[in-house]
Amino acid sequence: MKARRDVFQAIADPTRRAIIGLLAKQTQTLNTVADNFNMSQPAISKHMRILTECGLVVMIKQGRERHCSANFKALEEVAQWAEQYRSFWSSRLDALENLLNESD
Amino acid sequence: MKARRDVFQAIADPTRRAIIGLLAKQTQTLNTVADNFNMSQPAISKHMRILTECGLVVMIKQGRERHCSANFKALEEVAQWAEQYRSFWSSRLDALENLLNESD
DNA sequence: ATGATATATAACCATTTGGTTTAGTAAAAC
DNA sequence: GTTTTACTAAACCAAATGGTTATATATCAT
């Protein structure tokens, strides 16, 4: 049994972020998703597997089609991680100033 | 010349996220950062290089030491990307419901 | 039944990743 | 000036990543 996929790793790939973007507009089948990319269907299939493994996408089998839908809740972890540092970048306390103050 | 590093890829690694967390508390030298991890100093050096290449960390040479400081502004891209989908997960329109509605 | 369609699975491959150890180099301490 | 110290760079390695093509499987259409 594989260790549960990491959502940070899942969104590291630009193709997978683009897939999320597509699914935000509407649920799509795997094939219609694949039409948007310049790569083979198995490649998209693999990306989709990674996305489902970390909970970012839910796939439901309907006949011979797989209907794919994004589960944006899984992005909360990412948003929260990044946002915890927002006060740092929105304040005056960013990296350069830290360093400059330090060397004063 | 290497293509500019991607911040999404940079934060995909848990060690690098931990480094960001450390630098949020205070600027540190490369060595003091390395003390927090169970890996060699060159390994941390490499992580730090990736972090600086995508702008997440700023390093300033001071004598023989490298003072490392996080530049949280570089996280804005990540926060914004994730947040654009917040309305989806905070509303009732999440994946499962989409699919269930569809198959009604 | 036969064939087309939608997808998964397998086998394969090149490249990247994340680590290692072993030098090097530059600054500080003695 | 010799030795630590802080780090970088190089050479190496196993494993993971992201793609391919070819094949299998299940469903739908005829």
Per residue in A87-103, pLDDT (tens digit) is: 887 766 555 566 565 55
Does any strand C atom come closer than 7 Å to the Cβ of B13?
Answer: yes
Bases of chain C below 7 A from a protein C-beta are 5-11, 17-23, 26-28
Compare CB distances from B11 to A8, A58, A88 and report the shortest one's residue: A8
- Going by C-alpha positions, the residue among B79, B94, B99 that lies closest to residue A74 is B94
Higher pLDDT residue, A1 or A103? A103
Confidence of residue B88 (pLDDT cuts 50, 70, 90): confident
> In terms of DSSP H, where are the helices of B1-104?
7-10, 14-25, 30-34, 41-53, 76-83, 86-90, 95-103
Separation of alpha carbons B69 and A102, rounded Å? 11
Compare CB distances from A94 to B71, B82, B102 and report the shortest one's residue: B71
Query: Distances from the Cα of B1 to the Cαs of B18, B41, B53, B54, B56, in angstroms?
Result: 28, 25, 12, 14, 19
Q: What is the mean pLDDT of residues B85-95?
A: 72
Domains of chain A: 7-74 (1.10.10.10)
On the 0-12 / 13-18 / 19+ scale of CB atoms within 10 A, A51 is buried
Q: Which amino acid is at A26?
A: Q
Residue B94's pLDDT is 56
Per residue in A46-62, pLDDT (tens digit) is: 999 999 999 999 999 99
